[in-house]
Structure 1
Protein backbone atom coordinates (compact mmCIF):
# COMPACT_ATOMS: atom_id res chain seq x y z
CA UNK A 1 0.00 0.00 0.00
CA UNK A 2 1.36 3.31 -1.10
CA UNK A 3 1.47 6.44 1.15
CA UNK A 4 -0.58 9.35 -0.31
CA UNK A 5 1.72 12.05 1.08
CA UNK A 6 4.85 10.55 -0.36
CA UNK A 7 3.19 10.27 -3.72
CA UNK A 8 1.95 13.90 -3.60
CA UNK A 9 5.38 15.25 -2.73
CA UNK A 10 7.12 13.28 -5.46
CA UNK A 11 9.09 15.46 -7.77
CA UNK A 12 7.91 13.46 -10.67
CA UNK A 13 4.34 14.69 -10.30
CA UNK A 14 3.43 18.42 -10.17
CA UNK A 15 1.70 19.74 -7.08
CA UNK A 16 -1.93 20.53 -7.37
CA UNK A 17 -3.23 24.20 -7.03
CA UNK A 18 -2.40 27.61 -8.66
CA UNK A 19 1.20 28.50 -9.50
CA UNK A 20 2.20 32.06 -8.48
CA UNK A 21 5.20 33.77 -10.08
CA UNK A 22 6.65 36.95 -8.55
CA UNK A 23 7.58 39.26 -11.43
CA UNK A 24 8.39 42.30 -9.31
CA UNK A 25 11.72 43.86 -10.29
CA UNK A 26 12.46 45.02 -6.72
CA UNK A 27 12.79 42.35 -4.14
CA UNK A 28 10.44 43.34 -1.29
CA UNK A 29 12.74 41.74 1.31
CA UNK A 30 16.21 42.94 0.21
CA UNK A 31 15.24 45.99 -1.83
CA UNK A 32 17.62 44.99 -4.61
CA UNK A 33 16.87 44.79 -8.31
CA UNK A 34 16.15 41.30 -9.34
CA UNK A 35 17.74 39.60 -12.31
CA UNK A 36 15.01 39.36 -14.91
CA UNK A 37 16.59 36.23 -16.32
CA UNK A 38 16.45 34.40 -13.04
CA UNK A 39 14.26 31.39 -12.67
CA UNK A 40 10.73 32.09 -11.75
CA UNK A 41 10.62 35.43 -13.52
CA UNK A 42 10.34 36.27 -17.15
CA UNK A 43 12.03 39.19 -18.84
CA UNK A 44 9.92 42.11 -19.74
CA UNK A 45 9.31 41.94 -23.43
CA UNK A 46 8.76 44.81 -25.81
CA UNK A 47 5.13 43.90 -25.91
CA UNK A 48 4.80 44.49 -22.17
CA UNK A 49 6.71 47.84 -22.15
CA UNK A 50 5.05 49.31 -25.23
CA UNK A 51 1.46 50.48 -24.85
CA UNK A 52 -1.11 48.97 -27.12
CA UNK A 53 -1.31 50.35 -30.61
CA UNK A 54 -4.85 51.60 -30.10
CA UNK A 55 -3.84 53.50 -26.93
CA UNK A 56 -0.81 55.02 -28.72
CA UNK A 57 -2.94 56.12 -31.60
CA UNK A 58 -5.44 57.62 -29.21
CA UNK A 59 -2.72 59.54 -27.33
CA UNK A 60 -1.28 61.09 -30.48
CA UNK A 61 -3.10 64.14 -31.84
CA UNK A 62 -5.06 63.56 -34.96
CA UNK A 63 -3.41 64.70 -38.14
CA UNK A 64 -4.91 67.71 -39.90
CA UNK A 65 -7.49 66.35 -42.24
CA UNK A 66 -8.35 68.76 -45.07
CA UNK A 67 -11.99 69.72 -45.13
CA UNK A 68 -13.88 68.81 -48.27
CA UNK A 69 -14.08 71.69 -50.67
CA UNK A 70 -17.55 73.10 -51.18
CA UNK A 71 -18.55 74.29 -54.57
CA UNK A 72 -18.93 78.05 -54.77
CA UNK A 73 -22.45 79.15 -55.67
CA UNK A 74 -23.05 80.40 -59.16
CA UNK A 75 -24.21 83.95 -59.87
CA UNK A 76 -27.82 82.79 -60.15
CA UNK A 77 -27.64 80.84 -56.88
CA UNK A 78 -25.94 83.76 -55.10
CA UNK A 79 -29.06 85.90 -55.50
CA UNK A 80 -31.46 84.77 -52.82
CA UNK A 81 -35.19 84.80 -53.59
CA UNK A 82 -35.76 87.21 -50.71
CA UNK A 83 -33.32 89.73 -52.20
CA UNK A 84 -35.05 89.43 -55.56
CA UNK A 85 -38.43 90.16 -53.98
CA UNK A 86 -37.06 93.21 -52.16
CA UNK A 87 -35.47 94.55 -55.35
CA UNK A 88 -38.73 94.08 -57.25
CA UNK A 89 -40.73 95.86 -54.54
CA UNK A 90 -38.30 98.79 -54.53
CA UNK A 91 -38.46 99.06 -58.30
CA UNK A 92 -42.26 99.10 -58.24
CA UNK A 93 -42.22 101.80 -55.57
CA UNK A 94 -39.78 103.86 -57.62
CA UNK A 95 -42.00 103.62 -60.69
CA UNK A 96 -45.04 104.71 -58.66
CA UNK A 97 -43.14 107.69 -57.25
CA UNK A 98 -42.00 108.72 -60.73
CA UNK A 99 -45.55 108.46 -62.05
CA UNK A 100 -46.88 110.51 -59.13
CA UNK A 101 -44.21 113.18 -59.68
CA UNK A 102 -45.03 113.31 -63.40
CA UNK A 103 -48.75 113.76 -62.66
CA UNK A 104 -47.97 116.48 -60.12
CA UNK A 105 -45.78 118.33 -62.62
CA UNK A 106 -48.48 118.18 -65.30
CA UNK A 107 -51.05 119.41 -62.78
CA UNK A 108 -48.82 122.36 -61.88
CA UNK A 109 -48.49 123.24 -65.57
CA UNK A 110 -52.27 123.38 -65.89
CA UNK A 111 -52.84 125.21 -62.63
CA UNK A 112 -50.04 127.78 -63.00
CA UNK A 113 -51.96 130.00 -65.47
CA UNK A 114 -55.00 129.91 -63.20
CA UNK A 115 -52.95 130.91 -60.20
CA UNK A 116 -51.40 133.74 -62.20
CA UNK A 117 -54.83 134.97 -63.31
CA UNK A 118 -56.10 134.84 -59.76
CA UNK A 119 -53.15 136.88 -58.48
CA UNK A 120 -53.59 139.54 -61.18
CA UNK A 121 -57.33 139.58 -60.59
CA UNK A 122 -56.74 140.37 -56.92
CA UNK A 123 -54.67 143.40 -57.93
CA UNK A 124 -57.33 144.54 -60.42
CA UNK A 125 -60.03 144.32 -57.76
CA UNK A 126 -58.06 146.73 -55.59
CA UNK A 127 -57.72 149.13 -58.57
CA UNK A 128 -61.41 149.07 -59.59
CA UNK A 129 -62.26 152.45 -57.96
CA UNK A 130 -59.37 154.11 -59.83
CA UNK A 131 -60.32 152.45 -63.11
CA UNK A 132 -63.97 153.51 -62.71
CA UNK A 133 -62.92 157.13 -62.18
CA UNK A 134 -60.77 157.00 -65.30
CA UNK A 135 -63.69 155.57 -67.29
CA UNK A 136 -66.12 158.26 -66.12
CA UNK A 137 -63.56 160.98 -66.93
CA UNK A 138 -63.25 159.57 -70.45
CA UNK A 139 -67.05 159.47 -70.91
CA UNK A 140 -67.43 163.09 -69.83
CA UNK A 141 -64.39 164.33 -71.75
CA UNK A 142 -62.57 165.46 -68.64
CA UNK A 143 -59.53 163.30 -69.28
CA UNK A 144 -58.72 164.45 -72.80
CA UNK A 145 -55.74 166.83 -73.00
CA UNK A 146 -55.37 166.75 -69.23
CA UNK A 147 -52.14 166.02 -67.29
CA UNK A 148 -53.65 162.67 -66.18
CA UNK A 149 -54.40 161.44 -69.67
CA UNK A 150 -50.94 159.96 -70.21
CA UNK A 151 -51.00 158.40 -66.74
CA UNK A 152 -54.34 156.73 -67.47
CA UNK A 153 -53.05 155.42 -70.79
CA UNK A 154 -49.91 153.99 -69.18
CA UNK A 155 -51.96 152.30 -66.46
CA UNK A 156 -54.33 150.65 -68.91
CA UNK A 157 -51.41 149.61 -71.16
CA UNK A 158 -49.57 148.01 -68.25
CA UNK A 159 -52.67 146.11 -67.18
CA UNK A 160 -53.19 144.99 -70.76
CA UNK A 161 -49.70 143.42 -70.82
CA UNK A 162 -50.79 141.20 -67.93
CA UNK A 163 -53.95 140.08 -69.72
CA UNK A 164 -56.42 142.55 -68.18
CA UNK A 165 -59.26 143.44 -70.55
CA UNK A 166 -62.12 145.91 -70.19
CA UNK A 167 -65.47 144.92 -71.68
CA UNK A 168 -69.04 146.18 -71.83
CA UNK A 169 -70.26 148.26 -74.77
CA UNK A 170 -73.63 149.63 -75.81
CA UNK A 171 -75.31 147.33 -78.33
CA UNK A 172 -73.91 144.06 -76.95
CA UNK A 173 -76.34 141.19 -76.39
CA UNK A 174 -77.04 140.73 -72.72
CA UNK A 175 -75.01 137.85 -71.24
CA UNK A 176 -75.69 137.12 -67.57
CA UNK A 177 -72.18 135.67 -67.21
CA UNK A 178 -70.56 138.95 -68.29
CA UNK A 179 -73.22 141.59 -67.56
CA UNK A 180 -74.99 142.63 -64.42
CA UNK A 181 -78.32 144.31 -65.34
CA UNK A 182 -78.95 147.12 -62.86
CA UNK A 183 -81.96 148.49 -64.81
CA UNK A 184 -84.38 147.17 -67.38
CA UNK A 185 -85.79 150.15 -69.32
CA UNK A 186 -87.79 150.90 -72.43
CA UNK A 187 -85.40 152.24 -74.99
CA UNK A 188 -84.49 151.80 -78.58
CA UNK A 189 -82.09 149.01 -79.24
CA UNK A 190 -79.65 148.85 -82.15
CA UNK A 191 -81.17 147.67 -85.41
CA UNK A 192 -80.98 143.93 -85.85
CA UNK A 193 -81.05 143.09 -82.12
CA UNK A 194 -83.16 140.02 -81.44
CA UNK A 195 -83.01 139.84 -77.65
CA UNK A 196 -82.23 141.81 -74.54
CA UNK A 197 -79.55 144.32 -75.38
CA UNK A 198 -77.21 146.57 -73.45
CA UNK A 199 -78.32 150.18 -73.93
CA UNK A 200 -76.21 151.88 -71.24
CA UNK A 201 -72.92 151.04 -69.48
CA UNK A 202 -72.65 152.38 -65.96
CA UNK A 203 -69.43 150.57 -64.99
CA UNK A 204 -67.39 148.50 -67.42
CA UNK A 205 -66.41 144.95 -66.60
CA UNK A 206 -62.87 143.58 -66.29
CA UNK A 207 -61.50 140.10 -66.81
CA UNK A 208 -58.11 138.42 -66.72
CA UNK A 209 -57.93 135.70 -69.32
CA UNK A 210 -61.08 133.64 -68.79
CA UNK A 211 -61.63 134.86 -65.23
CA UNK A 212 -64.17 137.64 -64.82
CA UNK A 213 -62.99 140.04 -62.11
CA UNK A 214 -66.20 142.05 -62.25
CA UNK A 215 -69.13 141.88 -64.68
CA UNK A 216 -70.16 145.01 -66.56
CA UNK A 217 -72.93 146.88 -64.78
CA UNK A 218 -75.43 147.92 -67.41
CA UNK A 219 -78.98 148.94 -68.27
CA UNK A 220 -80.77 146.73 -70.77
CA UNK A 221 -83.82 146.97 -73.03
CA UNK A 222 -85.83 144.60 -75.22
CA UNK A 223 -86.50 145.18 -78.91
CA UNK A 224 -89.99 146.58 -79.71
Structure 2
Protein backbone atom coordinates (compact mmCIF):
# COMPACT_ATOMS: atom_id res chain seq x y z
CA UNK A 1 0.00 0.00 0.00
CA UNK A 2 2.81 2.29 0.81
CA UNK A 3 4.25 1.61 -2.54
CA UNK A 4 1.03 2.51 -4.27
CA UNK A 5 0.47 5.82 -2.38
CA UNK A 6 1.48 8.65 -4.56
CA UNK A 7 4.24 10.76 -3.29
CA UNK A 8 3.13 14.15 -2.28
CA UNK A 9 5.11 17.10 -3.55
CA UNK A 10 5.97 19.22 -0.68
CA UNK A 11 6.50 22.83 -1.47
CA UNK A 12 8.93 24.73 0.60
CA UNK A 13 7.17 26.89 3.12
CA UNK A 14 7.46 30.62 2.58
CA UNK A 15 7.71 32.83 5.50
CA UNK A 16 5.29 35.67 5.42
CA UNK A 17 6.64 39.01 6.42
CA UNK A 18 5.72 39.91 9.86
CA UNK A 19 2.61 42.08 9.77
CA UNK A 20 2.49 45.03 11.97
CA UNK A 21 -0.20 45.36 14.52
CA UNK A 22 -3.21 47.35 13.29
CA UNK A 23 -2.66 49.96 15.96
CA UNK A 24 0.99 50.23 15.30
CA UNK A 25 2.43 52.67 12.74
CA UNK A 26 5.85 52.62 11.39
CA UNK A 27 7.85 55.55 12.56
CA UNK A 28 8.22 58.30 9.95
CA UNK A 29 11.73 59.42 9.27
CA UNK A 30 12.26 62.58 11.26
CA UNK A 31 8.91 62.10 13.00
CA UNK A 32 10.22 62.99 16.38
CA UNK A 33 11.54 66.29 15.03
CA UNK A 34 8.18 67.17 13.37
CA UNK A 35 6.34 66.37 16.55
CA UNK A 36 8.51 68.79 18.44
CA UNK A 37 7.84 71.48 15.80
CA UNK A 38 4.07 70.96 16.07
CA UNK A 39 4.28 71.15 19.80
CA UNK A 40 6.12 74.48 19.46
CA UNK A 41 3.76 75.85 16.73
CA UNK A 42 0.47 75.58 18.60
CA UNK A 43 1.52 77.78 21.52
CA UNK A 44 2.96 80.35 19.06
CA UNK A 45 -0.30 80.54 17.10
CA UNK A 46 -2.26 80.88 20.31
CA UNK A 47 -0.02 83.72 21.44
CA UNK A 48 -0.42 85.48 18.09
CA UNK A 49 -4.20 85.11 18.23
CA UNK A 50 -4.21 86.53 21.73
CA UNK A 51 -2.17 89.53 20.58
CA UNK A 52 -4.58 90.15 17.69
CA UNK A 53 -7.55 90.00 20.06
CA UNK A 54 -5.86 92.49 22.36
CA UNK A 55 -5.17 94.84 19.45
CA UNK A 56 -8.78 94.53 18.28
CA UNK A 57 -10.06 95.31 21.77
CA UNK A 58 -7.76 98.35 21.93
CA UNK A 59 -9.04 99.61 18.56
CA UNK A 60 -12.65 99.14 19.64
CA UNK A 61 -11.94 101.12 22.80
CA UNK A 62 -10.31 103.86 20.75
CA UNK A 63 -13.32 104.00 18.41
CA UNK A 64 -15.60 104.28 21.42
CA UNK A 65 -13.57 107.20 22.78
CA UNK A 66 -13.60 108.92 19.39
CA UNK A 67 -17.37 108.55 19.12
CA UNK A 68 -17.83 110.04 22.57
CA UNK A 69 -15.50 112.88 21.60
CA UNK A 70 -17.50 113.48 18.43
CA UNK A 71 -20.73 113.69 20.43
CA UNK A 72 -19.14 116.25 22.75
CA UNK A 73 -17.82 118.28 19.80
CA UNK A 74 -21.26 118.31 18.17
CA UNK A 75 -22.81 119.51 21.42
CA UNK A 76 -20.14 122.21 21.78
CA UNK A 77 -20.72 123.35 18.19
CA UNK A 78 -24.48 123.54 18.72
CA UNK A 79 -23.93 125.63 21.84
CA UNK A 80 -21.49 127.89 19.98
CA UNK A 81 -23.94 128.36 17.11
CA UNK A 82 -26.75 129.30 19.48
CA UNK A 83 -24.47 131.69 21.36
CA UNK A 84 -23.30 133.29 18.08
CA UNK A 85 -26.92 133.76 16.99
CA UNK A 86 -27.77 135.42 20.32
CA UNK A 87 -24.73 137.69 20.10
CA UNK A 88 -25.57 138.61 16.50
CA UNK A 89 -29.13 139.49 17.47
CA UNK A 90 -27.86 141.53 20.42
CA UNK A 91 -25.40 143.39 18.18
CA UNK A 92 -28.09 144.14 15.60
CA UNK A 93 -30.33 145.44 18.36
CA UNK A 94 -27.56 147.71 19.66
CA UNK A 95 -26.96 149.11 16.17
CA UNK A 96 -30.65 149.85 15.78
CA UNK A 97 -30.75 151.43 19.22
CA UNK A 98 -27.80 153.65 18.31
CA UNK A 99 -29.53 154.75 15.10
CA UNK A 100 -32.56 155.80 17.13
CA UNK A 101 -30.42 157.51 19.77
CA UNK A 102 -28.73 159.59 17.06
CA UNK A 103 -32.08 161.08 16.02
CA UNK A 104 -33.63 161.54 19.45
CA UNK A 105 -31.92 164.94 19.91
CA UNK A 106 -33.79 166.12 16.80
CA UNK A 107 -37.05 165.03 18.33
CA UNK A 108 -36.19 166.75 21.62
CA UNK A 109 -35.25 169.99 19.85
CA UNK A 110 -38.48 170.05 17.83
CA UNK A 111 -40.50 169.36 20.96
CA UNK A 112 -38.85 172.29 22.76
CA UNK A 113 -39.39 174.56 19.75
CA UNK A 114 -43.11 173.78 19.60
CA UNK A 115 -43.50 174.30 23.34
CA UNK A 116 -41.76 177.66 23.09
CA UNK A 117 -43.97 178.70 20.17
CA UNK A 118 -47.12 177.88 22.12
CA UNK A 119 -45.87 179.61 25.24
CA UNK A 120 -44.44 182.79 23.72
CA UNK A 121 -46.11 182.87 20.30
CA UNK A 122 -42.78 184.03 18.89
CA UNK A 123 -42.72 182.86 15.28
CA UNK A 124 -39.28 184.30 14.52
CA UNK A 125 -37.68 182.38 17.39
CA UNK A 126 -39.50 179.25 16.28
CA UNK A 127 -38.19 179.54 12.72
CA UNK A 128 -34.68 180.15 14.02
CA UNK A 129 -34.93 177.07 16.22
CA UNK A 130 -36.16 174.91 13.32
CA UNK A 131 -33.23 176.07 11.20
CA UNK A 132 -30.81 174.97 13.91
CA UNK A 133 -32.58 171.61 14.11
CA UNK A 134 -32.33 171.22 10.35
CA UNK A 135 -28.59 171.89 10.47
CA UNK A 136 -28.25 169.37 13.30
CA UNK A 137 -30.09 166.74 11.26
CA UNK A 138 -27.90 167.39 8.21
CA UNK A 139 -24.80 166.90 10.36
CA UNK A 140 -26.07 163.55 11.66
CA UNK A 141 -26.75 162.33 8.12
CA UNK A 142 -23.31 163.49 7.03
CA UNK A 143 -21.66 161.49 9.82
CA UNK A 144 -23.50 158.45 8.55
CA UNK A 145 -22.05 158.94 5.06
CA UNK A 146 -25.26 160.35 3.56
CA UNK A 147 -25.51 163.37 1.29
CA UNK A 148 -28.18 164.71 -1.08
CA UNK A 149 -27.59 165.39 -4.78
CA UNK A 150 -29.15 167.97 -7.09
CA UNK A 151 -31.19 166.95 -10.13
CA UNK A 152 -32.90 170.01 -11.64
CA UNK A 153 -31.32 171.01 -14.96
CA UNK A 154 -29.52 167.70 -15.36
CA UNK A 155 -30.34 164.94 -17.80
CA UNK A 156 -32.47 162.08 -16.61
CA UNK A 157 -30.52 159.02 -15.43
CA UNK A 158 -32.57 155.96 -14.38
CA UNK A 159 -29.84 155.00 -11.91
CA UNK A 160 -30.39 158.25 -9.98
CA UNK A 161 -33.89 159.44 -10.88
CA UNK A 162 -37.46 158.19 -10.80
CA UNK A 163 -39.87 159.88 -13.22
CA UNK A 164 -43.20 160.91 -11.74
CA UNK A 165 -44.32 163.40 -14.40
CA UNK A 166 -43.36 164.25 -17.99
CA UNK A 167 -44.28 167.49 -19.77
CA UNK A 168 -43.48 169.47 -22.89
CA UNK A 169 -41.17 172.38 -22.17
CA UNK A 170 -38.63 174.65 -23.78
CA UNK A 171 -35.90 172.57 -22.18
CA UNK A 172 -34.34 169.77 -24.16
CA UNK A 173 -35.80 166.33 -24.10
CA UNK A 174 -34.99 164.25 -20.94
CA UNK A 175 -33.86 167.29 -18.97
CA UNK A 176 -35.17 167.33 -15.40
CA UNK A 177 -37.55 170.25 -14.84
CA UNK A 178 -38.56 169.79 -11.23
CA UNK A 179 -37.58 167.79 -8.18
CA UNK A 180 -40.32 166.48 -5.89
CA UNK A 181 -38.01 164.60 -3.53
CA UNK A 182 -34.25 164.95 -3.38
CA UNK A 183 -32.11 161.96 -4.09
CA UNK A 184 -29.61 160.72 -1.52
CA UNK A 185 -26.25 158.99 -1.77
CA UNK A 186 -24.57 156.92 0.90
CA UNK A 187 -20.86 156.22 0.59
CA UNK A 188 -21.01 156.71 -3.17
CA UNK A 189 -24.05 154.49 -3.80
CA UNK A 190 -27.64 155.54 -4.40
CA UNK A 191 -29.55 155.42 -1.13
CA UNK A 192 -32.73 156.88 -2.61
CA UNK A 193 -33.36 158.04 -6.20
CA UNK A 194 -34.76 161.51 -6.74
CA UNK A 195 -38.41 161.80 -7.78
CA UNK A 196 -38.55 164.22 -10.68
CA UNK A 197 -40.45 165.83 -13.55
CA UNK A 198 -38.82 165.34 -16.96
CA UNK A 199 -39.09 167.40 -20.13
CA UNK A 200 -40.45 165.91 -23.35
CA UNK A 201 -38.98 168.81 -25.30
CA UNK A 202 -40.91 171.55 -27.15
CA UNK A 203 -44.36 170.68 -28.47
CA UNK A 204 -44.33 169.19 -31.93
CA UNK A 205 -41.02 167.48 -31.30
CA UNK A 206 -40.36 163.73 -31.17
CA UNK A 207 -42.67 161.86 -28.82
CA UNK A 208 -41.73 158.94 -26.61
CA UNK A 209 -45.20 157.81 -25.66
CA UNK A 210 -45.37 159.99 -22.54
CA UNK A 211 -48.26 162.36 -21.88
CA UNK A 212 -48.13 165.78 -20.37
CA UNK A 213 -49.11 165.82 -16.73
CA UNK A 214 -49.14 162.02 -16.37
CA UNK A 215 -46.68 159.95 -14.43
CA UNK A 216 -44.14 157.76 -16.20
CA UNK A 217 -42.47 155.60 -13.54
CA UNK A 218 -39.48 153.34 -14.17
Q: Structure 2-normalised TM-score?
A: 0.36
Larger radius of gyration: 1
Q: Structure 1-normalised TM-score?
A: 0.35
